[in-house]
Structure 1
Amino acid sequence: MNEFPQALTIAGSDSGGGAGMQADIKTIQERHVFATNVVVAITAQNTLGVQASLPLPLSLINQQFASLATDFKIRACKTGMLADAEHVATVAENLRHYDWGPLTLDPVMIAKGGAQLLADDAIDTLRTELLPLATVLIPNLPETEVLTSSRIKTTADFKQAAHQLQQMGAKNIIIKGGHLDYQSQAADYVLYADGQDEWLTTPRIATKRTHGTGDTFSACLTAELAKGTPLKAAIHISKAFIQAAIANPITVGHGHGPTNHWAYQEVHHD
């Protein structure tokens, strides 16, 4: 009873279905884990961009957390779009209250189309309230530069930034290198809590169908952790999952199209 692996995404809704909570739920389902959700904000969004967004009342966010706690056995959770300082603080308060396993923190700040998804005043709150709770922190390069107040150009910069983020309280760091456009390989740097590190590299794919890549990667990792997969193996599965999702595109929309959330299953048959 209630022992089936269950995970939680705490994020914004993407009406276009390619990123945000919708990408999370699709990905978690593909990994054979039951997905629950706390909606923090609603967006009017498609592959061309974010046209509008509205954070939900804090009381309703608290009620969503309480509702899940009375019925589900959540084993891992992740965060996505958290809107502003008040909402970041509210989410952090709830995560301290409920023990729902490892937290994967995806510090969503800017959408693919350039829309700002996290208010400037929320960055300090995210650093002080949420970062220390994170089992895994997964920023992309622009987010890493904001969080560390530094520029990242070299492999040494990656390593220095990861150590800096670890000092802020996050246990394991994955800095996604997809924004380094001049490289033929997409390279992510991983710094583990015990000080070990590694680079995850895959061939770069020339495509506009990358909407929701960060959400998908972090959701896959969350699902694996909910199943009890060891962290290193979970990270490697997540890297393969997003690579398959980008390499086997589906054609919808007229802008930055979504990734293919079922591609990994077809390629790997698991």
Structure 2
Amino acid sequence: MSWVVSTQTAISFSIYRYTSRFSTLRRLPNPNLSLNALPWHPRSRPLTFRTAALLQDAGAAAVVTAGAYGLGLTFDNLTQRKVIEQSLSRKLVHILSGLLFMVSWSIFSTSTEARYFASLVPVVNCLRELLRGPLYYVLILLVCTMVFWRESPIGVISLSMMCGGDGIADIIGRRFGSLKLPYNQQKSWAGSISMFVFGFLISIGMLHYFSALGYFQLDWIWTMEKVALISLVATVVESLPATKVVDDNISVPLASMVMAFLSFGF
């Protein structure tokens, strides 16, 4: 009979130790301290993620801004040394800065605030461009970043058409554009053809880049058909004799946005 009492006593003592330990774990170190404030509580972990994301986005914005400034400074030096013409230099800066800025979207975090940090880059450039050149170009960069970002093909295609298609069309048209369009003597067949070809190729390349990173998935046969149609519409819009009324940096991306929206949705 004594061994039964001993066994019951041992079991009771074990239960007491277990329940005491469990109650100690549940007891807060400070009655005024919220459970959510404890570092091991799951609700406190997003604060650490947000801090890391903010630091990543701030650093990415600083690096991209410095890179954009360095790119412009490099071509300014080449122009001063008369290595390339000023008009060609500025056009190359606009092509490269826009496309490289879009590529840099991947180094920002996955937080909802990432697009706003990325938008600081064209905002800073906007302050520089107020005195130097095409403000509309910078504003389109800002709109595509804030509104569409990297999760939508619309912004990617619009910037590809403006930076790649329209930018390269201007360079090719000035160099080899002796044969003019019948309805616009300011535009050439060489420029319009290059607008369509490079707009299409750069758009497909950028879409593949963001798709490979997992931001969206596309049916590539269907996508190539839609991008070809968007490139055709953007090329026609760019060739119209309306430059004095609407700048190409507005008409081309806006036309691309509308067509991409109709094709891909928001």
Q: Indicate the TM-score class for this superposition, using the shorter chain for normalisation.
A: under 0.3
Looking at both structures, which has the greater relative contact order when contacts are Cα pairs under 8 Å and sequence separation is at least 6? Answer: 1
What TM-score comes out, normalization by structure 2 length? 0.26
- Larger relative helix fraction: 2
Greater strand share, 1 or 2?
Answer: 1
Q: TM-score, normalised by structure 1?
A: 0.25
